[in-house]
């Protein structure tokens, strides 16, 4: 953590360790098949990219781009595609979400677990169900109460807070996803939704 909360030191360390793992796997890539290469990359590289990634929500594109370049290197290693080939198309073939959407996915998964009593109290206490003062259609929409304008700082840091970001992202989901009755269904539907509606 740095004094400006940019997390750049953390990002640089993650990129360094993940890139090192990718280079090591690259040395044996010609001796293994694609499925084995993908398992190794998930175990030693993308697991590092995903660890604690919900903390990275709202960071500038330049910061996320560093992590994206590492993911792109992992994809090229697995698929052996040339550098001039469209990496986005190859990523979709692997059914991988880009880094920015993986961050959103993690935030929303945590939010789902909070709403279903599967998260610790210190997180649960940050969110409240939306309860209108009178009966409205929104009463059955499984929405979260966004913080009031007085409670939320309008600067860069306030918008990144979990108590601000989670209700905003959750309430923007289709009802069918918010209403998923198992974690497995939620994850499957959410991933499809993010593929069809990628973050900018």
Number of domains into which the chain is organized: 2
Q: Are residues 84 and 107 in the same domain?
A: no
3-class SS shares of the chain: helix, strand, coil, % to 5: 65, 0, 35
Return per-residue pLDDT of the chain as tens, 200 residues.
Answer: 555 567 899 999 999 999 999 999 999 999 999 999 999 999 999 999 999 999 999 999 999 999 999 999 999 999 999 888 999 999 999 999 999 999 999 999 999 999 999 999 989 998 988 877 666 555 567 899 887 655 555 555 577 889 999 999 999 999 999 999 999 999 999 999 999 998 76
Q: Quick check: helix, strand or coil at residue 53?
A: helix
From residue 26, alpha-carbon distances to 74, 78, 88 in Å are 9, 9, 21
71-101 burial by CB neighbour count: b if 16+ within 10 A, else e?
bbbbbbbbbeeeeeeebeebbeeeebbbbbb
Predicted TM-score (pTM) of this structure:
0.89
Q: Using the 3D structure, point to which of 96, 127, 149 is the last residue of a domain.
A: 96
Residue 144's DSSP bridge partners are 129
Domain of residue 64: give its range. Answer: 8-96
For 123, other C-beta atoms within 10 Å of its C-beta total 15
The helix or strand, by DSSP H or E, that contains position 16, with its residue range, turns out to be helix 8-26
Q: Are residues 71 and 127 in the same domain?
A: no
């Amino acid at each position: 953590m740095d004094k400006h909360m940019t997390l750049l030191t953390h990002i640089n360390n993650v990129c360094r360790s993940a890139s090192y793992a990718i280079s090591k796997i690259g040395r044996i890539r010609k001796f293994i098949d694609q499925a084995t290469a993908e398992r190794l990359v998930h175990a030693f590289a993308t697991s590092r990219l995903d660890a604690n990634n919900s903390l990275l929500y709202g960071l500038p594109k330049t910061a996320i781009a560093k992590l994206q370049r590492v993911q792109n290197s992992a994809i090229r290693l697995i698929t052996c595609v040339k550098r001039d080939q469209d990496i986005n198309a190859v990523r979709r073939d692997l059914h991988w979400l880009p880094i920015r959407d993986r961050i959103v996915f993690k935030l929303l998964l945590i939010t789902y677990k909070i709403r279903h009593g599967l998260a610790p109290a210190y997180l649960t206490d940050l969110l409240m169900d939306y309860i209108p003062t009178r009966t409205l259609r929104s009463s059955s929409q499984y929405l979260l109460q966004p913080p009031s304008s007085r409670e939320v700082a309008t600067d860069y840091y306030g918008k990144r807070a979990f108590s601000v970001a989670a209700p905003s992202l959750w309430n923007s989901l289709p009802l069918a996803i918010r209403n998923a009755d198992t974690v497995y269904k939620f994850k499957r539907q959410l991933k499809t939704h993010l593929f069809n509606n990628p973050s900018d």
